Amino acid sequence: MAHLSIPLPERIVNKVQMKNNIRLFAVAIIAAVAAFAARGEFRWGPTAGVDFTNLIFKQDIMRVDKAIGPTLGVQGEMMFPGIGFGIDIGAMYSMQGATLHLGEKKIWAVDGYGKERSYLHTLSIPVNLRFKWTRMNGVEEYVAPFAFGGPVFNFTVAHNKLNAMEYAGGSIGVQAGLGVELYKRWQIQAAHVWGMTYALKAVKLQDFSARERYWTIRATYFF
């Protein structure tokens, strides 16, 4: 008996492929980090803060309001003794998104849309190269500034219901930031993240997708 093959919708296939590609890229980066970790000094701790998020669409045809969401999780740091360089990696929950003024355009207004919130609940995995000023004649025991940058892998685990938009399975961003370490335990940092792949796109319009842009501010305590 012949078996019928029912193809999956293209949008589902694309979403699965996107998530798989991000997963493979993240695994490759984490494997590279692990290879260097054996030479460094590793520590970890809880981290929490806020994200000030925005969605940047390809075409500027409607107003978009920024949103604020929490972020919390764990962060690890591996520093290489004597040179000031190190690597940090984290795993954290983040709520990101924005408010979309869909009702300003007839294409969405006819469907009853108005001022709509779009929120994504994501598992974020940042991997950064960092430099910490550790040779300041003993001052670094109390205060040590640092700079960092690297990729951020976002996996969408849930989102609010907004049928006008189609959500990606995940996205990749690049971040850069500054911070300060206090008394060898506490770190306060701020970074800006530029989304490199789309996070969501309009269902009715063919080429109307958005990338995430956001500021993140976090405090971390290392054990």
Residue 30: the pLDDT is 59
Q: Spell out the residues 6+ positions from residue 209 whose beta carbon is closer than 8 angstroms to its own.
A: 57, 58, 198, 200, 201, 202
Instruction: Classify strands 143-159 and 64-79 as parallel, antiparallel or unpaired.
Output: unpaired
Give the sign of the dihedral formed by CA 162, CA 168, CA 173, CA 179: positive
Confidence tier at 135 by pLDDT (50, 70, 90): confident
137-160 pLDDT, tens digit per residue, is 888 899 999 999 999 999 999 999
Tokens coding 202: 């309009």
How many helices and strands, by DSSP H and E, does the chain display?
2, 10
Residue 27: the pLDDT is 66
Residue 5: the pLDDT is 42
Give the sign of the dihedral formed by CA 67, CA 71, CA 75, CA 81: positive
The phi-psi region of residue 12 (left if phi > 0; otherwise alpha if psi is between -120 and 50; otherwise beta) is alpha
Tokens coding 68: 């604020």
- Cβ–Cβ < 8 Å for 148, 128: yes
Confidence tier at 17 by pLDDT (50, 70, 90): low
**87 SS3 class:** strand
Residue 1: the pLDDT is 46
Confidence tier at 214 by pLDDT (50, 70, 90): very high
What the chain holds in terms of domains, given with CATH numbers, is 10-221 (2.40.160.20)
Rounded distance, CA 181 to CA 146, Å?
8
Residue 81: the pLDDT is 80
Amino acid in position 35: A
88-112 pLDDT, tens digit per residue, is 999 999 999 999 999 999 999 999 9
Residues 52-71: what's their mean pLDDT? 92
What is the average pLDDT score of the chain?
A: 86
What percent of the chain is predicted at pLDDT more than 70? 82
Confidence tier at 206 by pLDDT (50, 70, 90): confident
Confidence tier at 6 by pLDDT (50, 70, 90): very low
Amino acid in position 106: K
Residue 58: the pLDDT is 87
Q: How many CB atoms are closer than 10 A to CB 21?
A: 14
